[in-house]
């Protein structure tokens, strides 16, 4: 990635933050009286035909009325084949401080860690939308050092009610990560979940379709998933 390209990307984020911050209104008494719904820590395990994937996601506000919060993801994947673990095992973690600039829209800044590339500072946006039984999350971000990887991740959940505390649980999740410096594909995946939820538990069938590196090496995993929501 050239210096000019990096400047344009950073300028884009600065303009978005500046404009949305100017248009956003300060929290009012009415906002402070809104019902506060606790955001859970989500822990998911999928046990598949090729390996085990463990993912933890959390998003918390510092206080119920604060515009600041913290967002984090830990994602680990290990294969059963001991001869291939060094190559195919994956580890990723990120922690970011978030700041609400508009309803449903946050800017985020923090650190990103990956097995091969190490730690990098990162800057991004997060958009959350809840409409009825649907939940949409879009979260683009960019690393601010080394290969300046750009990443876009998003998912759509649909959880219609069945009876009492039982619901259908379904999710489609997509990620694409691009190395801007070398103009190479780094990692991308498509994940699907279909099952049921009861109280703080989700479970059912899961599938992960991963493509790794510039050659887009396939690393697919099909099996059963279990999620627990910790409040």
pLDDT tens digits for range 4-26: 554 455 545 444 444 444 444 44
Q: Which residue carries 């506000």 as its tokens?
A: 61
CA–CA dist 162, 38 (Å, integer): 23
Q: What is the mean pLDDT of residues 57-79?
A: 92
Return phi, psi of residue 30, to 5°.
-65, -40
As a whole number, mean pLDDT of residues 48-54 equals 96
The single-letter DSSP state of residue 199 is T
Which pLDDT band holds residue 87 (cuts at 50, 70, 90)?
Answer: confident
pLDDT of residue 120: 94
CA atoms within 13 A on the CB side of 7: 3
Instruction: Please give the CATH architecture assigned to the domain spanning 3-230.
Output: Beta Barrel (2.40)
The domain limits of the chain are: 3-230
Whether the full predicted model's pTM is greater than 0.85, yes or no, is no
- Residue 207 pairs with which residues in a beta bridge? 192, 222
């Amino acid at each position: 990635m050239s210096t000019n390209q990096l400047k344009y990307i950073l300028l884009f984020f600065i303009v978005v933050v500046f404009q949305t911050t100017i248009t956003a209104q300060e929290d009012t008494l009415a906002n402070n009286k809104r019902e506060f719904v606790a955001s859970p820590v989500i822990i998911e395990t999928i046990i598949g035909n090729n390996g085990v994937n463990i993912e933890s996601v959390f998003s918390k506000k510092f206080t119920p009325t604060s515009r600041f919060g913290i967002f984090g993801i830990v994602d680990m994947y290990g294969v059963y084949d001991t001869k291939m673990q060094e190559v195919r095992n994956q580890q990723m973690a990120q922690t970011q401080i978030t700041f609400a600039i508009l309803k449903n829209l946050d800017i985020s800044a923090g650190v990103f860690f990956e097995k091969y590339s190490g730690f990098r500072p990162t800057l991004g946006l997060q958009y959350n939308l809840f409409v009825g039984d649907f939940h949409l999350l879009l979260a683009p971000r960019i690393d601010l050092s080394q290969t300046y990887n750009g990443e876009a991740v998003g998912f759509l959940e649909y959880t219609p009610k069945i009876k009492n505390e039982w619901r259908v649980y379904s999710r489609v999740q997509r990620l694409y990560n691009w190395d801007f410096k070398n103009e190479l594909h780094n990692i991308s995946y498509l994940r699907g979940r279909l099952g049921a939820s009861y109280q703080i538990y989700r479970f059912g069938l899961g599938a992960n379709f991963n493509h790794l590196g510039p050659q887009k090496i396939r690393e697919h995993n099909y099996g059963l998933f279990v999620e627990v929501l910790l409040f």
